[in-house]
Amino acid sequence: MSAFSNGPGPGCESIKCSSNSCNMHRQASGITESPRARSKALVFAESYSASAQDVHHAIVEYREEILEALHRCQEEGGKSGGILLPHRLVDELQRAATKANKPMIMGGDFARLAQSCQEVVVSEPCMGLALRPIIGMWKYIRICINTLTIEELSVSDYLSFKEGLTEAGKQLDARERLWTLEVDLEPFNSSFPHMSRPSSIGDGVRFLNRHLSSRLFTTPHATFNPVCDFLRTLQTNGDPLMVGKRITDVNAMQKALTKAEQLLLRCDAQAPFATVAAKLQEIGLERGWGNTVGAALDTMHLLGELLQAPDAELLQEFLGRLPIIFNVAILSPHGFFGQKDVLGKPDTGGQVVYILDMVRALEREMLKRIHAQGLNMEPQIIVITRLIPEALGTSCNQRIERIEGTEHAKILRVPFRSKAGILRKWISRFEVYPYLEQFTMDVARELRKELGGRPDFIIGNYSDGNLVASLLSSYLNTTMCTIAHALEKTKYPDADVHWKKLDSQYHFSCQFTADLIAMNASDFIITSTFQEIAGDADTVGQYESHTAFTMPGLYRVVKGVDVFDPKFNIVSPGADPEVYFPFYEADRRLTKLHPGIVDLLFGSDEAPRAKGVLKDKKKPILFSMARLDRVKNLTGLAELYAKSDRLRAVCNLVIVGGIVDPSQTKDVEEKEQCERMHALIKEYKLEGQLRWLVAQKDRVANGELYRYIADTRGAFVQPALYEAFGLTVIEAMTCGLPCFATNRGGPAEIIKNGLSGYHIDPYHPEEAGNIMADFFEAAGDGSAWDKISRAGLERIRSRYTWEIYAERLMTLSRVYSFWKYVKKLDRREARRYLEMFYILRLRPLIAQMKAAQDDVGLTEAAGVVQTDGDAK
């Protein structure tokens, strides 16, 4: 609770009942009420919250068993640091119901409440429950078990209660807690249109168009029209597009459109626009309306209808045709960003593949639109990343690299610099923050040099790229979108509340702060799935987890992100169709690679490229490919397989990821996981059944590897503890390989469980092993395998292609540029608040991080080379 908020303090001694909960107070004092009096169901789907009184009656319904479950949770909380995973409350309730032989308990009110619980915080004698009755809607309850005192908490009070679990929180008395810095973006968005239905989340552009288009022409001034005003800003290299300088108001625009339509109706619709360009210019209309007379006339008709009667669908179609986006800048600073020999290196994986595929698709879409607009121009797409002088055999030390498969796209590399000089070696993505501010200024300078001006559209990627994009967008006044790829707060359980324990290795204090700033600064955010934004009925979304959280001793976020904000849009990527295609397309198969694949999978060689030799080559292969880090959970998969006799009996396990020699990596986490994998192989005697291969960096060969494993009637498994999207799942399904994938994140949305693949819970490995064993046992006759393979391919074709992705992203960029200009949706007040937060909180954190790096010699180890003069 902030010093400026109202309500009771965080301690139990301050609990007081409001007038509408006095009955709860009487019961807590010993005045009980018959259970039959209140068996009212807590129908969470119809109400945003349940009152403390309702919770009390839900407990009274089966008091003895529910209190037993709560006591067990309290005991477990004491052993596990005070925070329990959401399933524990339901598990303990199920245990109590089974023990009492009362299965009806699991259909009661409290069971429904427990199923909506996303977190249990235990701090004796009380426990706090974070309830999520509806996607995006939260309710906080504190229960003191001994007295059955129940209190509804504000967000601030719940977070304060949670902070009491940590050393930082325990050191603060009630007065000091009043002065904890609270981050609250809600006041800045109170007048901004927001959605209210969970089903609308992720389709922000549709809502925004519908909400605002009807208000476009409310001004009584005939001289002003937002569409016309916006059109007058369009230009390229100083030359106006669509509307000339002589058209100064809406009356002039309408007159020009009338004259132009009369002119064009007398011409051949198929005639090139150039044949009428001079006459239209005399009227005041410039090029950009279309490449033919008919196309230009159609665009003019759209505008005419909009001027007459605003309509959301017409508006989006019209904006999609506008010549706005010619130069695109894409930010991805960390890792080894290149086209060859980089995959599998530290911090280098699916994001690189995603961006390169995106660039190729965007260029095709931009060329198509520029041609349709009747313009003779070349788009430019520049991917900006870090230049690494000591590039370890890659091209990452080259300033410029043309992107294969494109004509107008390239990689621009800019080094990390500080006052000490240029950083020569790779550093972890968690260590880059001290360099990003200077990197932003260097990128702005280099972009102007390459483009001859500023970009029309900026795309950020991951935490570091999104922070740079937000700084660059503010500096250049350019529309920006951000793509998270992965938000680390959701990958490391309780990483916010226990940030101090992890900060020396991961620097989450900087990263979470950077994420919060970039999310709120972005003009729009694209995600691959709904789950990434708001999860599902049972699981919290990645972005949703940033709604409210605390970092004790640093700050408390009471309203960080709102998943109902119309800036969120789902734009799902696909797999490169030239690389990934079904195994049965025999004419396209790369059979020349098969001898090498056979040797890779079944060869007898081991270190340095492999560990383990498969004995029974007739068994189908259970295959996984990912980075070797804790969250990707490849060691968890190996352990799952090792402990499942059924699974070991029906298939071999092939894991591709990282390195097999721990001395060959400088990445701390990769080294730990490598050593763990070796220990598992030895402990469970997996030699002969498991083959572990180093990262495979040739994606063309990897495409054929997927198909070859499909030939063996194998399957792909993605076992991550959390996966934002799941690009490897898309790749495998596109090749016709049946897939098992984590139910934590995007793959759960890609796969329809039991129809086009299977969900597995990485936190219940025995159950996951049985699901996979069931499949392989049933797939013996071939029909079960074929059914899942076909359904997976159909799922991909209907939803996940780069063509759909590029078309939608280019439309979004135009629509949000329009609304940003017309309705000033840059949220100026919020931006000023974020600037203050950046300067007063993030910059000092980064300075502390840099000092710590210097203390441990990281800068020296990374090979800083002095340059001429300080960084400018």
Answer for the pair 506, 488: CB distance below 8 angstroms, yes or no: yes
Query: Does 835 lie in the same domain as 735?
Result: no
- Output the domain CATH number for residue 652: 3.40.50.2000
H or E element: which one contains 387?
strand 380-387
Query: Does 135 lie in the same domain as 18?
Result: yes
Total number of domains in the chain? 4
Answer for the pair 756, 791: CB distance below 8 angstroms, yes or no: yes
Q: Is 322 exposed, middle or buried (0-12, 13-18, 19+ CB in 10 A)?
A: buried
Q: How far apart are CA 725 and CA 235, in angstroms?
A: 37
Tell me what pLDDT residue 822 has: 80
Query: Does 35 lie in the same domain as 101?
Result: yes
> Could you report how far apart the first and last alpha carbons of the chain are, in Å?
42
- Residues of 573-604 as b/e, b for ≥16 C-beta within 10 angstroms? bbbbeebbbbbeeeeebeeebeeebeebbeee
Answer for the pair 808, 814: CB distance below 8 angstroms, yes or no: no
Query: Does 843 lie in the same domain as 721?
Result: no
Query: Does 263 lie in the same domain as 154?
Result: no
Q: Which residues of the chain have pLDDT under 50?
A: 1-48, 220, 868-872
Judge whether 575 lies within some domain: no
- For 100, phi and psi rounded to 5 degrees? -85, 0
Say which residues have a Cβ less than 8 Å from residue 102's Cβ, sequence separation at least 6.
62, 65
Q: How far apart are CA 796 and CA 750, in angstroms?
A: 8
SS3 of 131, please?
Answer: strand
Query: Does 672 lie in the same domain as 640?
Result: yes
Torsion of CA 335, 339, 345, 348, to 10 degrees: 50
Judge whether 504 lies within some domain: yes
Pairing between strand 149-153 and 137-144? Answer: antiparallel
Query: Does 835 lie in the same domain as 757?
Result: no
Say which residues have a Cβ less than 8 Å from residue 715's Cβ, sequence separation at least 6.
620, 621, 622, 623, 651, 709, 737, 738, 739, 740, 772, 775, 776
User: Sheet of 555-559: strands edge to edge?
Assistant: 182-184, 555-559, 549-551
Judge whether 736 lies within some domain: yes
Judge whether 708 lies within some domain: yes
Q: Is 507 left (phi over 0), alpha (psi -120 to 50) or beta?
A: left
H or E element: which one contains 132?
strand 126-134
Tell me what pLDDT residue 217 has: 56
* Cβ neighbours, 10 Å, residue 856: 10
Query: Does 484 lie in the same domain as 409?
Result: yes
Token output for 31 = 């005045």
Query: Does 773 lie in the same domain as 696?
Result: yes
Q: What is the pTM of this model?
A: 0.83
Tell me what pLDDT residue 864 has: 67
Answer for the pair 570, 543: CB distance below 8 angstroms, yes or no: no
Say which residues have a Cβ less than 8 Å from residue 15's Cβ, sequence separation at least 6.
8, 142, 144, 149, 151
Cis peptide before 762 (omega within 30 of 0): no
- Could you read off the pLDDT of 538-587 as tens digits, one per residue? 889 999 999 999 999 999 999 999 999 999 999 999 998 899 999 999 99
260 lies in which domain range? Answer: 235-320
Tell me what pLDDT residue 44 has: 40
Q: How far apart are CA 494 and CA 318, in angstroms?
A: 46
Tell me what pLDDT residue 173 has: 75
Cis peptide before 240 (omega within 30 of 0): no
Judge whether 437 lies within some domain: yes
Token output for 503 = 């900060």
Query: Does 336 lie in the same domain as 263?
Result: no
Query: Does 768 lie in the same domain as 814?
Result: no
Q: Rounded to the nearest 10 degrees, what angle do helices 462-476 and 508-521 cross at?
A: 50
- Could you read off the pLDDT of 423-476 as tens digits, one per residue? 999 999 999 999 999 999 999 999 999 999 999 999 999 999 999 999 999 999
Length of the chain: 872
Among candidates 630, 643, 648, which has minimal Cα distance to 720? 630
Q: How far apart are CA 20 and CA 591, in angstroms?
A: 74
